[in-house]
Amino acid sequence: MANQQPTLPSQEFIEIKSIENDTVFLKSGALRKILLVTGVNFSLKSEGEQNLIMGSFQGFLNSLDFSTQFFIHSRKLNINNYLTKLSEIENNELNELLKNQIKEYREFIKTLVAQNDIMQKQFFVVVSYESSNLYKQGGDIADKIMGLFGKKQENKEDKSLNEQLEQINQRVDHIINGLHQIGLRAIPLNNEELEELFYNLYNPASIEKDMIKEEK
Residues 88 and 167 in one domain: no
Q: Look up the pTM and report it.
A: 0.64
Residues 124 and 154 in one domain: yes
Q: What is the pLDDT of residue 7?
A: 45
Cβ(35)–Cβ(184) below 8 Å: no
Per-residue pLDDT band for 15 (boundaries 50, 70, 90) equals: confident
- pLDDT, tens only, 82-126: 888 999 999 998 898 998 999 999 899 888 877 777 777 889 999
Residues 165 and 84 in one domain: no
First to last CA, the chain: 59
Residues 69 and 153 in one domain: yes
- pLDDT, tens only, 167-183: 999 999 999 999 998 88
Residue 209 lies in a domain: no
Residue 12 lies in a domain: no
Q: How many domains does the chain have?
A: 2
Question: Helix 153-182 crosses helix 134-148 at what angle (to 10 degrees)?
Answer: 140
Structural domain span for residue 169:
17-76+120-202
Q: What is the pLDDT of residue 156?
A: 55
Q: What is the pLDDT of residue 136?
A: 44
Taken in order 16, 19, 24, 28, is the CA torsion positive or negative?
Answer: negative
Cβ(125)–Cβ(72) below 8 Å: no
174/154: higher pLDDT:
174
Q: What is the pLDDT of residue 173?
A: 95
Residues 193 and 90 in one domain: no
Q: Is the pLDDT of residue 74 over 60?
A: yes
Radius of gyration of the chain (CA): 24
Residue 10 lies in a domain: no
